[in-house]
Amino acid sequence: MFWGLKPEEAVKMLRRLGVSIEEVNAVRVTVEVEDGSRIVIDNPTQALIVKSRDQPPIIMVMGEHKTEKPGAPEAPHYTEDDVRLVAEQAGVSLEEARRALEETGGDIAAAIVRLAERRAS
């Protein structure tokens, strides 16, 4: 709700008042907060840029949001199947394979090459 109105009603009201409204086909909107956290809206239902002659533009985004805290661990970019594959191909332990995948951001080929280079030296 926006001023007690549904979003569509608010847009109509603003247009009647002569305010220019530009719709944006946003896929993800991120707001970085002073404390280091982020407010993230994935697939917003609506994103608008509201422009008035006398004021700076207002950006309105509607949709479900989540808050990401700073320092929150990211989900690994690899699966346990990837770990087993790297360990098997490089001839190393699962822990060594996991560490190589972390170092390469989940890139399986790069992890195997890195481990092979370590074994060769």
Place of tokens 């809206």: 41
**Claim: this prediction has a pTM higher than 0.75:** no
51-106 pLDDT, tens digit each? 888 889 989 898 899 998 887 566 677 899 999 999 999 999 999 999 999 888 89
8-30 pLDDT, tens digit each? 787 888 888 888 889 999 999 99
| pLDDT for 115 | 93
Domains of the chain: 7-68 (2.20.70), 80-120 (1.10.8)
| pLDDT for 111 | 93
Q: Which strand ranges, in their side-by-side order, compose the sheet holding 38-42?
A: 28-32, 38-42, 66-68
| pLDDT for 74 | 64
C-alpha angle 98-104-109 in degrees, rounded to nearest 5:
85
